[in-house]
Every structure is written in structure tokens, then in C-alpha cells.
A and B are shown apart, each in its own frame.
Chain A
Amino acid sequence: MSPIRVLIVDDSSVMRKIVDRSLRQAGLEIKEVFEACNGVEALARMQQTRVDLILSDINMPTMDGLELVRQLQAVENAKGVPIVMITTEAGEAHVVQALSSGARGYIRKPFSADQIKERIFPLFQE
């Protein structure tokens, strides 16, 4: 797998750092990491940048992760880019909502690097 460009969307800067570190610990080769602290910032980023993977929280101010996933459907740069939700809200209703909105996977916080590996790697082997 060649090095990838990742967009991490979370309103917590500490959590963005943890996700970044966990991706690297999981053995993912990262070319570049972009960060956004809500859906609006992520959408703006995606208008300008092409990434290989988007990891997003759900509960965020201004625009939440579920709305972001829906709005990304209309963004040319996001076409075919896997979106994985990383959130504390891991109830069945949230999982169904996220997957039906277009997310390709779901990771519950707290998570380990192994869980990241388990959920992310298959997305690049499909």
C-alpha cells in the first residue's frame, strides 16, 4: 500500500493527535495529514484537497459528522474516498445512521491501534 493522505476531523485537538499517532502505530504509511475541527472546515478542506481517507468524529459544533458525510457526497474530491467515523456515540442507531449516510466504517472511542488497523486496512484492499 502506498503512503496515503488523511483528513482527521474532530473538535478536540488532543483527539486529532491521538488518531494521527494511532494510524502510524497501526502501520499505515502516511504521506500527509490534514486536520479540521468541524464539518464546515472539513468541507472547505475537501473542496481544495484530495485525500485517500477521512476519519471523522460525530458530535462536533457547527456541523456534525453525520451531516459532513451527507454533504461530502456532493464534493467531487470526496468521491470514492472512504469515510470512517470515530466517536463515543457507538449505539446501534448512530452506527446505522452513519453507515446509511455513506460512512464506510465505525470505530468507537476509546480505541487501540489494533482496532484502527482492523477497520482501516481492509478499506484499501477492496
Chain B
Amino acid sequence: MDSVTQIESRNRVQLIISAKSSGSGGRGSKLPGLPRAETQKRFTRALENAAIEVFEMMVGSPLCSSDQVTLPLVADYTSMIGLAGDICGVLSFRCSNKSAGQIAAKMLGTEERASAECTRDALGEICNMVAGAFKAQVTDIIDQCMLSVPMVVSGKDYQLYPLADGLRIQISKVFEGDLIWITLDLHGG
């Protein structure tokens, strides 16, 4: 498949996603010089706007609000992308098997169930575009930030341990009646 890295969790695995690696020029994160609460608020709004924009434009299905922010213990699909530069961290997107299939089918413009390969490709692109749109929302406070190749994990039997020790921004939205979750774990502060 394309350049999205894939992992299928047949056996129970632990994924340790480190956001501690240095960004461009060996620097760590440089979270904006705003008070932490202000940064959290600003980044949360940017992440929400990014997700809404991506789903409206590329999936063709609006996201609805949800108050349920708590991450699920299990999600059928998790896609992740790394950010490095003025901010370092990991953006992850989680959804159910049903949502993954619907997202892929809508992106492909078909009503048929997309193949597993296309589903992973679609979720990798969602993660990539949400991260890109997030960056575009905060260009006034972040100059340089590169994105990694996305990675997609399918299967439920795993746990994620992001080793970021900075901000955690977590949002949930409703897509076609089901919850989806987007998390941004940032290092430093």
C-alpha cells in the first residue's frame, strides 16, 4: 500500500509513541509563550476546526459536537502522525470499524465497503490532513513543524503510551452517529 505504515494487532502489543525525539535542529518543543491554559484552549479550538474542515471538505460529512471526551479503552482503528519542530508530539485519530469503513467509502465516493488497504490509506490521510490543517490554524505561533509519515494500527488488542510530557489535547466528535476521537500529545512546555 502507500506510504502509510500499518500494524495489525493480532497479539496484544504495547505501542510506546515517543514525542521526546528532538525536532528540527535537535530542538525540543517550543510551546507558544502563552499561559498553559490559553495554549490548551487555543490548540483545542484549532484541533476542532481542523477536524471539522477535513471532514466537511474531504469526507463530505459534517462532524457533530460531543461532550464525551474520554478516550475509548478500545478503538478498532488508530492512525497516528508525528509532529517535529517548534512543537513535537503525536496526533492520533481513533474510530470504530464501522466509522473507518464509512470514512473510506465516503472519501472514495462509493457506497460499497472499501478494502482494508483503502481503509487504512483513508485513515492515514485523515490524520495527515487534520495535522496539516491544525498547523495552518496556528501559523501565527508556530513557524516550523514537519509531519512524519502516518501510521495506522488496526485491531483492538493494544495499548498506547505516548511519552509526551506536555500538553494533551483531546476532542471527540460524532461522525454518522458514532464517536471518533482525536488526541494531540505534545512534548515540553
Q: Of A15, A91, A110, which is within 8 A of B53 by CB?
A: A110
Asked if B109 CB lies within 8 Å of chain A CBs, one says yes
Q: Give the size category of A's interface with B.
A: 20 to 34
The reply to whether A17 and B139 contact each other, CB–CB distance below 8 Å, is no
Query: Which partner residue on chain A sits nearest B57 by CB separation?
Result: A110
Asked if B144 CB lies within 8 Å of chain A CBs, one says yes
Excluding A14-B104, A109-B133, 12 further A-B contacts by CB distance (< 8 Å) are A11-B3, A12-B124, A14-B121, A14-B125, A61-B149, A88-B131, A90-B136, A109-B58, A110-B54, A110-B57, A110-B58, A110-B133
The reply to whether A37 and B2 contact each other, CB–CB distance below 8 Å, is yes
Query: Which partner residue on chain B sits nearest A92 by CB separation?
Result: B139
Q: How far is the CA of A15 from the CA of B124 in the complex (A)?
A: 11
With an 8 Å Cβ cutoff, the count of chain B residues facing the other chain is 32
Chain A neighbourhood of B1, CB < 8 A: 13
Chain A neighbourhood of B136, CB < 8 A: 90, 108
Instruction: State the majority secondary structure of interface residues on A.
Output: loop
The reply to whether A91 and B135 contact each other, CB–CB distance below 8 Å, is yes
Chain A neighbourhood of B104, CB < 8 A: 14
Interface residues of A in 60-89 (CB under 8 A from B): 60-61, 87-89
Interface residue ranges, A against B (CB under 8 Å): 11-15, 17-18, 21, 37, 59-61, 87-91, 93, 108-112
**A88 with B144, Cβ < 8 A, contacts A14-B121, A17-B108 known:** no
Query: Which partner residue on chain B sits nearest A60 by CB separation?
Result: B3
Interface residue ranges, B against A (CB under 8 Å): 1-4, 53-54, 56-58, 104, 107-109, 118, 121-122, 124-125, 128-129, 131-133, 135-136, 139, 143-147, 149
Query: Which partner residue on chain A sits nearest B125 by CB separation?
Result: A12
Q: How far is the CB of B128 from chain A (nearest CB, A)?
A: 5
Q: In this complex, which of A11, A61, A111 has the most chain B Cβ atoms within 10 angstroms of its Cβ?
A: A11
The reply to whether A13 and B118 contact each other, CB–CB distance below 8 Å, is yes
Q: How far is the CA of A27 from the CA of B57 in the complex (A)?
A: 17
The reply to whether B128 and A14 contact each other, CB–CB distance below 8 Å, is no
